[in-house]
Chain A
Amino acid sequence: MAIVNLKPVPLVKSGELTREFVEAYSASLNDPEWLAARRLEALRVFRDTPAPQRTNELWRRVDLSAFKLDQVIPAISAGVSVAPGAFDDLVTSLSASNSPGWVLHVDGGHVQHSLAPELAAQGVIFADLATAAREHAELLEKHFMTSCVKLTDSYFAALHGIFARGGVVLVVPKGVQITAPLRALTRMTAGRRADFNHTLVILEEGARATLIEEFASLGDLATSSALPQSMYNGAVEIILGKNSQLDYVSIQDWGRNIYNFTTERAHMGEGSTLHWVVGGMGGKFTKTLLEADMLGAGGTALLSGVFFTDGKQQMHIDTQQNHIAPGCKSDLLYKNALRDDSHTVWRGNIRVFPGAQKTDGYQANRNLQLSPRSRADSIPGLEIEADDVRCTHGATVGQIEQEPMFYMATRGVPEVEARRLVVQGFFAPVIDRIPLEETRDRLVEEISRKIG
């Protein structure tokens, strides 16, 4: 397929999102045939899927009127101009981090990746979507947006299917255990961008891995909200084989010009273990759908989240713990701290399917309101269709209490420092679950910066 020189055009401007446009996009990426076909399928689904309406429960609390899909441009060959060496410092720091594998993705496109030869020799795949789609076509064709995250999941999932690009594919063969964390860094350097980063993780039976993804804006974008809006529309697919174990950490620290939409799902096999930590610090607006499907008996899903909003940030997180097989355990702990006029909505649901006996499900959402103008909506839910189960949930919204503040004051800790300690302490049990010190430190630093 010839590389077509594609003009950067805004997304979904009336009539622009045509079959011809998508074909040209595919051609510009040198897609294998199966992927080109899947993009067209995604286009068909997208056209049949209505844009989010507030009449839909999932979008009821969401005001997207300021979001203009036709003002963002997907990264296309002619649209991204990455100067050679522009990200050398990121590459250098990744290379120096002793990580056995890393991927760097900037402004919606893949930049570079690396995998330790001894892991490659064991059959580990670690690359961006385009490389994996070409070199492991059969495997990718089977799994890419077919059963885990599906094109039909939502408007944004379908849109993602059309433009998915870059990101990271990790496949760990049977019995291979990778102890050191693999890393994926995603950066945004410009406004008016659309990034369709795709994460696909497949652990075969008995495999083990840790993947840490970090998303951030660079330069002015990190602090200014006056820049033209951008969109991140990501999908995460995690497929865990029997008795495999994945530690997956994803930390988002976007600039304030970014609308952040993600669809994230794990399919968990028998006896598999998933430790999934999500962090949300940045972005103008976030809507995340995150789901753990326990398809095999005896699985364990430990789901942790830290979210810290300020200014007028909005963060909407929907979680679903689906106990489909018996004897699984899920434990969700999401913590939000809110400053200024920010608003968070957590909607969590534990669903126990018929026959999923001996389910042990728990969910807790804790909110720390640092400003009386902030708003935290916490909506837990249980749907139980089996009888021998233990499911509990808790949701709290609280403020900083006076007695700990006085106690710390009697040790000479100034009020602003004491507040910092309370907020850091609030998050600490979740941050302690992050297996990489560098990531923990960066998150603590960002939290500290946000406290002001």
Chain B
Amino acid sequence: METPKWFEVRDLHVNIAGKPILKGLNLSMNAGEIHAIMGPNGSGKSTLAYTISGHPAYEVTSGDILFKGESILGMKADERSRAGIFLAFQYPVAIPGVTVANFLRTAVNARIKADAAAKNGGVLPPSIKGITIADFRKSLRESMRVLKVDDSFAGRYLNDGFSGGEKKRAEILQMAMLRPQLAVLDETDSGLDIDALRVVSEGVNSLHARDQSMAVLVITHYQRLLNYIKPQFVHVLINGQMVEEGGPELALELEERGYDWLRDPESV
């Protein structure tokens, strides 16, 4: 039997408020691969990211999304996350009054408890209390060091009053703590200056080096980010469909020539 793909999107059609946005999108990734999706504004890049993550407003009308051979369409967003899918948001959402540390400990514990319950026929064994505060702090401090964030970060309310750079670092910090097997980075470079971009990219690269089977899907408008996070494959998304696929050189070509040469003449 053929080994299933690590991650696969098959002929995906997605509507938002009844309007078709993705119109038969295909994508296939192996473990450990880094893919980039590029495309102009409004092509459906963020829709793909949200649909993979399970946003309830994005309606899949046909097609499928498979993670390690299993369809995830029946899973809610939190279940997809615990199964190993992570979305770094283009616009991270503030959670007022909830500190970075408190939030992450809740998220880490949710994973530990769900895993323990799954191994016990769906019932959480009472002995499972989650990560100890000491272990959690140690792990959080290590991740914060990699991402060059100050210790005080842990005590701040998540994304509340964060600068653009801090928000993106917080996204990657969460990724580091949650150890996904598929990371979708939605316009992670937007709003970052070159120094912040470098730190965030180095963070992603070091996580990829740590968890080598983790697949990374980089969604970006610009080629700039791909100088730091180097994809093996580049896909071009226009009007809800993949129109071109190539290696890293495709990104450079897009930078040079723009997207117009790839547009379906009927849709221009």
Contact = CB atoms under 8 A, between A and B. Distances in A.
B103 A421 contact: yes
B77 A409 contact: yes
A316 B95 CA distance: 29
B40 interface: no
A424 B76 contact: no
Contact of A424 (B81, B82, B97, B107): B97
B42 to A, nearest CB: 20
Contacts of B81: 409-412
B77 A410 contact: yes
Contacts of A409: 54, 76-78, 81
A29 interface: no
Interface in A396-450: 402-404, 406-415, 417-418, 421-422, 424-429
Given A412-B110, A412-B111, A414-B110, A428 B98 contact: yes
Given A408-B107, A411-B103, 6 more contacts: A404-B94, A408-B78, A411-B81, A414-B110, A422-B95, A429-B96
Interface stretch (B5-13, B85-93, B131-139): B85-93
Interface in B58-116: 76-78, 80-82, 86-87, 89, 92-98, 102-104, 106-107, 110-111, 114
Contacts of B93: 403-404, 406-407
Given A406-B56, A407-B89, A417-B106, A412 B82 contact: yes
17 contacts: A404-B93, A406-B77, A407-B93, A409-B54, A410-B54, A410-B86, A411-B78, A412-B78, A412-B82, A413-B78, A413-B106, A413-B110, A415-B78, A417-B110, A418-B78, A421-B95, A428-B157
Contacts of B110: 412-414, 417
Contacts of B104: 411
B77 A425 contact: no
A412 B107 contact: yes
Interface of B: 53-56, 76-78, 80-82, 86-87, 89, 92-98, 102-104, 106-107, 110-111, 114, 157, 174, 178
Contacts of B87: 410
Contacts, number: 80
A410 to B, nearest CB: 5
B133 to A, nearest CB: 13
A422 B95 CA distance: 7
B5 to A, nearest CB: 22
A407 B89 CA distance: 8
Given A411-B103, A412-B114, A428 B77 contact: no
A450 B76 CA distance: 25
A421 B159 CA distance: 14
B107 A413 contact: yes
Contacts of A429: 96-97
A408 B106 CA distance: 10
Contact of A427 (B92, B95, B97): B97
Contact of A426 (B76, B97, B174): B97
A398 to B, nearest CB: 12
Contacts of A418: 78
A421 B102 CA distance: 9
A165 B54 CA distance: 60
Contacts of B174: 411
